[in-house]
Amino acid sequence: MSNRLVESATIEKSNCQHCGAHVSRDFRRTFGDGDDIAHRCPACDCMPRISRGTAAGKELDYPDPEDQPQRNQGGRVEARTDGGESL
């Protein structure tokens, strides 16, 4: 596999599949699916949903912040998961 393909796969894998925000390797290993891919992250979902499996791609009956934006308010909204500050 060429370096360019490896780099492209790594960049794609290091981003949330839902919103495109960068997600750390630790977040992906902890909450992501079996391939360490995050389908949702703290920038686009709430921690109660993430801890129940949305980052691993699981569908839940728990309200989605996209459907009810008032459910995902506070300091973590649009959070950066790479340790940086939100712009």
More reliable by pLDDT, 81 or 62: 62
Determine the length of the chain. 87
pLDDT tens across 22-65, in order?
A: 999 999 999 999 999 999 999 999 899 999 999 999 999 888 88
φ/ψ of residue 81, rounded to 5: -95, 10
Is 50 exceeded by the pLDDT of residue 3? no
Is 60 exceeded by the pLDDT of residue 78? no
Q: What pLDDT shows up at residue 42?
A: 92
DSSP per-residue letters across 48-86: HHHHTTGGGT---SSPPTTTSGGGS-STTTT--BTS---
**Three-state SS at 28:** helix
More reliable by pLDDT, 5 or 34: 34
Q: What pLDDT shows up at residue 63?
A: 86
**Three-state SS at 12:** helix
